[in-house]
Amino acid sequence: HQTHSYFGVAKGVVDLAMATGEDKYLKQAQKAFDDSLLSLWCTGGVSEHFAGFWECGDEPGCSVMDWGGLCLRLYKATGEVRYLDAMELAILNHYLAAQSDNGSTYCARTLNRQTTGYDKNRGMKTDFCCTQATGWFLGQIAVQTITANNDGFSSNLPFDLDVTTKRNGNTVRINQKIHINPNTIRQELYVYNGDKAPFDLKIRVPYWSDN
């Protein structure tokens, strides 16, 4: 399979499950996730093709984003944090590392001289996405970074975000800053609750975090 197409279809299957309430569709999408884990790289990225001869070649704007989109949809459908773990690794680790010096991303970058990439040493810099999935998905990350529920708010992902919203008629502002250093990632949350209305604040602790 081409992973871009495969994950794109799997995302639609999750949408179908959420629209119809049919558990069989959700299980089908979960199986696509579970079966794909063995094909992921340690970076969290994914090859353009399953079982392809691409040990370092990738499609950051398509396959990786579709994988991340599948993870995010499954999290929204199930609430299982393992899907956020997989998405965070792919986006925060692999996708950012695939960016080039001009702000675009590398495509078909490979160290394998038996493949026929655009450039066998560095790959091709691209500032486009054939399905426009990248920009849309980056927006979905922002929407899901901090979310609200009946009890309060949840910080789900380690990305910079500033949110101002209303809760029971009161203004609440949550500012999240992420500091990335060579050996550490530090997450800071500032909550401005001028009306002092009580609410819960839940913070997801990533699986890799010791402290």
Contact 71, 90 (CB under 8 A): yes
Summarize the confidence of residues 58-70 as an average pLDDT: 77
Which residues are 147's β-sheet partners? 154
Asked whether 160 and 186 are in contact (CB, 8 A), the reply is no
pLDDT of residue 75: 93
Candidates 144, 143, 146, 123; CA nearest to 61 is 123
Question: In this predicted structure, what is the pLDDT of residue 96?
Answer: 74
pLDDT at 119 over 60: no
Main-chain dihedrals φ then ψ at residue 112, nearest 5 degrees: -85, 115
pLDDT digits (tens, 9 = 90+) for 174-194: 999 999 888 888 899 999 998
Residue 130 pLDDT > 80, yes or no?
Answer: no
Predicted pLDDT of residue 155: 94
For residue 138, what are the contacts with CB-CB under 8 A and spacing of at least 6?
65
Q: What is the mean pLDDT of residues 5-18?
A: 94
60-77 average pLDDT score: 87
What pLDDT is recorded for position 200?
94
- In this structure, are residues 33 and 10 in contact, taking their beta carbons and an 8 Å threshold? yes
Q: Are 171 and 164 in contact (CB under 8 A)?
A: yes
**Does the structure show a pLDDT above 90 at 210?**
no
pLDDT band at residue 124, thresholds of 50, 70 and 90?
low
pLDDT band at 121 (very low <50, low <70, confident <90, very high): very low
